[in-house]
Amino acid sequence: MNNSAEKKLALTHLWVAFGAFGLAAVMGLYQVIERSGFFGFLESRAVYYASVSTHGVLMGFVLTTFFIMGFGYYTATSSLKMPVWNLSFAWVGFGVSLSGVVMAALPLLGGAASVLFTFYPPMQAHPLFYIGATLLVVGSWFWCVSMIVMYTQWKNANPGIAVPLAMFATTANAILWLWTSVGVAVEVLFQLIPWSLGWIDSIDPGLARTLFAWTLHPIVYFWLIPTYTAFYCLVPKQAGGFLFSDEMARAAFILLVVFSLPIGFHHLYMDPEQGHGWKILHAVGTFVVTLPTFITGFTVIASLEIAGRLNGGKGLFGWIAALPWTNPMVLAIILGLLMLIFGGFGGLVNASYAMNAMVHNTAWVSGHFHLIFGGTTVIMYFGVAYYLWPILSGKPLFCKAMAVKQLWTWFIGMIIMTTPWHILGLLGQPRRIDSVNYNNLLTLSWEPYEVTMMFGGAILLYSSALLLINLYKTQMGTEAYQGEIEYAEPIHAPDDLPEYLNSFKLWNIVIAVFMLIAFGYPILQFFLMETFGSGRWGV
């Protein structure tokens, strides 16, 4: 099958993703330096908050969304062995998303949208920011439609046969994202845009936060699913082995989608506009969603063990040494899992209803999500990029040793940056501060940690540069490379799969019921009680 058009589509998305990443990484280093307060001439809160807002949007929304779309298109065409459905439709989606990014970037860079990536009202940004963000999401819905159509077409053409796991996971993510984005879409369309344009004068920040919480948790799984897809479908093959279990992988993806949606209130534990009982309900769900991650950890490590033993590794731990540590994708997963183990403990603290009060909105939180999201999730995006770039561009990877070095420096930089960041949180430092001004001795204890973070940030920026240079040089190479993506084989082929592990019909109904239970009354209550809206406030 000639899929060069698909490759171009995927590669263009991925370049937007990593371009945004590169820009945001530069801002990241500036931020750790500015906030430390050691360089007086740099101090400017207006620039700092414009930068953090842009960095958050680029890393959180642009890198992720474009990576997911690009990887998804190529996964669909290569795993189903069919062309991408309606290519021009896909390009229109790309165009809509990209124009949204450009539109939002104008006020962001100009300092007219310094409301951070969570844009909590009643602080108001320029309307272009909200409209741009909406277009980014609307463009991604084109992708969701595309994935669901391709999945359905393939299923209809191959009745009773298991949908390839990689496509099953990608479709799961498309469905997850459609459900996820409803919350923020309602907030932006019915509250923020009309309010920022002056059509309505006040909005309820409590309702806005509730709707945002609808999106804020599952969006993390939207970012994570491509990483897990690579864990299950690409890594075992790269490591020289087999996938331990195809069925368990499907079960894990279904659990992720179903249980990540109705639990967003763990972001509202400390909020006054939702009651105790609802918070506890979501807290319980939050622990249920650890289940698929435990399953993933097990299946993936078992798959790696199989590979290590096939490579001749012996003994209890010998198989670890026998893994191909210089294969970028394998190295990425090893380092990613290490960061997941560290980060997992932190996550348990956040998620416990009682302990959350200690760390809520402190620097701990920023440290935690840089480790899990900037670390585990994104390092796998790098691993996938090194694998896909030669395939998509038709040129061999410029330098493998450089890739290995890049992954190691990313890991080391993350550990050096996020460990002190967590400690700062325990020492009471609030998140999102541009400088330290409190007239309290406590702040003296923060200084050494601020210094350490700067070193971490510098290593991370160096690492980002290595990545981008490698990808760029690959693309510019003169040699030709011919290869297609190779998916990992499961030990047991999934031949007599029950329908509930091959289809999402049942699960969509389950999700609808869960969402009704978890968000029905909590949203309805705002219309039942007397509430007082807020007007418009600048930053």
Partner 1 sequence: MHIDQLEKKWAGISLGIAGLFVAVILGSALFHGIHAPSNVETIDSARLHLSEEFAEDNLGAQLNADGSVTVRLVAGRYGFYPKNIVLPAETNITFRWVSLDVIHGVHIPMTNMSTMIVPGYVAQVQTLLHHTGEYPMLCNEYCGMGHAHMWSNLKVVSKTDWANMNNQGEASHE
Residues near ligand HEM (CB under 6 A) are 25, 28-29, 31-32, 35, 52, 55-56, 59-60, 63, 116-117, 366, 370, 373-374, 378, 431-432, 457, 460-461, 464
Nearer to ligand HEM, 28 or 93 (CB): 28
450 binds partner 1 (CB under 8 A): no
Which residue carries 């940004």 as its tokens? 125
Nearer to Cu ion, 217 or 250 (CB): 217
Stretch of 88-96, 99-107, 459-467, 530-538 contacting partner 1, by CB under 8 A: 530-538
For Cu ion, which residue has the nearest CB? 217
Active site residue 67: no
DSSP structure class, residue 417: H
Single-letter amino acid, residue 27 = M
Q: Which of 217, 266, 267, 422 is catalytic?
A: 217
Stretch of 195-203, 209-217, 326-334, 343-351 contacting Cu ion, by CB under 5 A: 209-217
56 binds, among ligand HEM, Cu ion, partner 1, none (CB under 5 to 8 A by kind): ligand HEM
Rule CB under 8 A: choose which of 197, 492, 506, 517 binds partner 1: 492
Can you give the length of the chain in residues?
539
3-class DSSP string for 305-349: HHHHHHCCCCHHHHHHHCCCCCCHHHHHHHHHHHHHHHHHHHHHH
We find the least distance from the C-beta atom of residue 443 to partner 1, in angstroms, to be 9
437 binds partner 1 (CB under 8 A): yes
Dihedral pair phi/psi, residue 133, rounded to 5°: -60, -40
Q: Which of 18, 151, 168, 221 is catalytic?
A: 221
Q: Which of 142, 370, 387, 504 is catalytic?
A: 370
**How many residues sit close enough to partner 1 to count as binding (CB under 8 A)?**
78
User: In sequence order, which residues have a C-beta less than 8 Å from that of residue 29 and are 6 or more positions away?
Assistant: 457, 458, 460, 461
Active site residue 250: no
217 binds Cu ion (CB under 5 A): yes
Nearer to Cu ion, 217 or 395 (CB): 217
Name the token pair of 176: 């997850």
User: Within 10 A of 171 (CB to CB), how many other CB atoms are there?
Assistant: 26
User: Could you tell me the end-to-end alpha-carbon distance of the chain, in angstroms, rounded to an integer?
Assistant: 54
For ligand HEM, which residue has the nearest CB? 28
Q: Which of 353, 432, 462, 472 is catalytic?
A: 432
Beta bridge pairs of residue 123: 537
Single-letter amino acid, residue 289 = V
- For 532: left if phi > 0, alpha if psi spans -120 to 50, otherwise beta; the answer is beta
290 binds partner 1 (CB under 8 A): yes
217 binds, among ligand HEM, Cu ion, partner 1, none (CB under 5 to 8 A by kind): Cu ion
Stretch of 77-85, 348-356, 385-393, 511-519 contacting partner 1, by CB under 8 A: 348-356
Do 379 and 328 form a contact (C-beta atoms < 8 A)? Answer: no
Nearer to ligand HEM, 31 or 245 (CB): 31
We find the least distance from the C-beta atom of residue 457 to ligand HEM, in angstroms, to be 3
Nearer to ligand HEM, 191 or 464 (CB): 464
What b-and-e string marks burial along 408-420, b requiring 16 or more CB atoms within 10 Å of the CB?
ebbbebbbbbbbb
Active site residue 217: yes
d(CA 442, CA 458): 26
Q: By CB under 8 A, what part of segment 141-200 binds partner 1? A: none
368 binds Cu ion (CB under 5 A): no
d(CA 464, CA 462): 5
Do 376 and 443 form a contact (C-beta atoms < 8 A)? Answer: no
We find the least distance from the C-beta atom of residue 439 to partner 1, in angstroms, to be 8
Stretch of 3-11, 118-126, 228-236, 474-482 contacting partner 1, by CB under 8 A: 118-126
Active site residue 370: yes
We find the least distance from the C-beta atom of residue 391 to partner 1, in angstroms, to be 31
Name the token pair of 471: 């990808």
Q: DSSP letters along 440-474, please?
A: SGGGGGGHHHHHHHHHHHHHHHHHHHHHHHHHHHH
DSSP structure class, residue 510: H
DSSP, collapsed to helix, strand or coil, labels residue 351 as helix
Active site residue 126: no
28 binds, among Cu ion, partner 1, ligand HEM, none (CB under 5 to 8 A by kind): ligand HEM
d(CA 342, CA 333): 14
Q: Which residues bind Cu ion (CB under 5 A)?
A: 217
Catalytic machinery residues: 217, 221, 368-370, 431-432
